[in-house]
Amino acid sequence: MDLNILWFWIIAFMFIGYFVLDGFDFGVGMSLPFLGKDDTDRRVLINTIGPVWDLNETWVIVAGASLFAAFPEWYATMFSGFYLPLLLILLALIVRGVSFEYRHQRPESEWKRWFDGMIIVGSAVPALLWGVAFANVVRGVPLDADFNYTGTVLDLLNPYALLGGLTTLLLFFTHGVIFVTLKTEGDIRRRAQKLATRAGVATIVVAAAFLGWTTFGFGTPTSGLFAAAAALTLIVSVVANLLGAERWAFGLMAATIGLAVLTLFASLFPFVMPASNDPANSLTIANASSSPYTLQVMSWTALIGMPFILGYQAFTYWVFRKRIARSHIESAVH
């Protein structure tokens, strides 16, 4: 396998890691107004992701850095053409991170309410805009002969991209609520299970529409298989949640997100940024990649470093594997 092809799929793996891990962070943040009846409930929800949210977020840094190093033309075109949406994602991530740290610094309810609102917005905006961005990459955007984006921000808000954004929003929301059932006890766990079932039904409908549009509009036989597998795991995940098997539900939802990302990357291959106006202006794996020597150095670095990263993350999740209950928060207060 050529190294540029290998790195195309390595970057796909990194975005799978980011969307699976930070995806449930987004979902937990968006669940605050639905599951947080009072401040104790909201503290329980935030504490489910407190030890891991910043670790999960590093995946997007690694994915972005790898994209820049392996496919600089792709990085330059996407980050310049999608500048405003990606800037909004960055600002939302900053606001969300600051809110986690500052929320508990003062006891006033109004202070906490402001930061809770910023957590909700800071979670929902990336969940929506990542879907919009990746849907536009798959659909194709207008590019000139120098691979510069020639459209406008409004061109990115097309029906297919907005459906992609709604799909990731609902996938991450459901993923996060299922994570709450996995990490909590008592009444909040029961309410999360019911909410995950309702959200899961809506997610099935929207995701089926988006994956179907992707398969028949831009897909390949391979991407069609990934889309079908994603639909199956999503349905079984919702059923597992309904039956109270939250571990299976969470694992299957993670698989759904991973398969959905594979659907998008398989639909792209061998392009990385199709030109909707003139196929000759499209960026491909061949004309967007770095030199073979650069990719070779990156491959050895990834081979050595990635096992340590995965091992450290697995160890962190193992250490913080216990469930959280209201009594834990109340006893800490008193």
Answer yes or no: is pLDDT of 151 > 80.
yes
Q: Is the pLDDT of residue 330 over 70?
A: no
Residues 227-286 have pLDDT tens digits of 999 999 999 999 999 999 999 999 999 999 999 999 999 999 999 999 999 899 999 999
At 162-188, the pLDDT tens digits run: 999 999 999 999 999 999 999 999 899
Please report which confidence band the pLDDT of residue 333 belongs to, taking 50, 70 and 90 as the band edges: low
Q: Please determine, for residue 334, whether its predicted confidence score (pLDDT) is greater than 60.
A: no
What is the model's pLDDT at position 106?
86
Region 186-213 average pLDDT: 95
Query: Average pLDDT, stretch 216-226?
Result: 93
Q: Using H for helix, E for strand and C for coil, what is the string for the chain?
A: CCHHHHHHHHHHHHHHHHHHHHHHHHHHHHCHHHHCCCHHHHHHHHHHHCCCHHHHHHHHHHHHHHHHHHCHHHHHHHHHHCHHHHHHHHHHHHHHHHHHHHHHHCCCHHHHHHHHHHHHHHHHHHHHHHHHHHHHHHHCECECCCCCECCCCHHHCCHHHHHHHHHHHHHHHHHHHHHHHHHECCHHHHHHHHHHHHHHHHHHHHHHHHHHHHHHHHCCHHHHHHHHHHHHHHHHHHHHHHCCCHHHHHHHHHHHHHHHHHHHHHHHCCEEECECCCHHHCEEHHHHCCCHHHHHHHHHHHHHHHHHHHHHHHHHHHHCCCCECHHHHHHHHC
Confidence of residue 332 (pLDDT cuts 50, 70, 90): low
Mean pLDDT, rounded, for 71-79: 93
Residue holding tokens 């006893």? 331
The domain 3-333: what is its CATH number? Answer: 1.20.1630.10
Which of 233, 236, 231 is closest to 212 using CA atoms? 231
Q: What is the pLDDT confidence band of residue 219, given thresholds at 50, 70 and 90?
A: confident
Check whether 190 has a pLDDT greater than 50.
yes
Percent share of the chain, pLDDT over 70: 98
Domain locations in the chain as residue ranges: 3-333
pLDDT at 198: 96
- Looking at residue 3, its pLDDT comes to 92
At residue 27, the pLDDT reads 96
* pLDDT class of 321 with cuts at 50, 70, 90: confident
- Prediction pTM value: 0.94
Question: What value does the mean pLDDT of the chain take?
Answer: 92
Read off the pLDDT of residues 26-74 as tens digits, 9 standing for 90 and up: 999 999 999 998 889 999 999 999 888 888 988 999 999 999 999 999 9
Average pLDDT over residues 288-311: 91
For residues 120-135, average pLDDT: 96
Q: Which residues lie below 8 Å from residue 197, measured CB to CB, with a gap of 6+?
A: 238, 241, 242
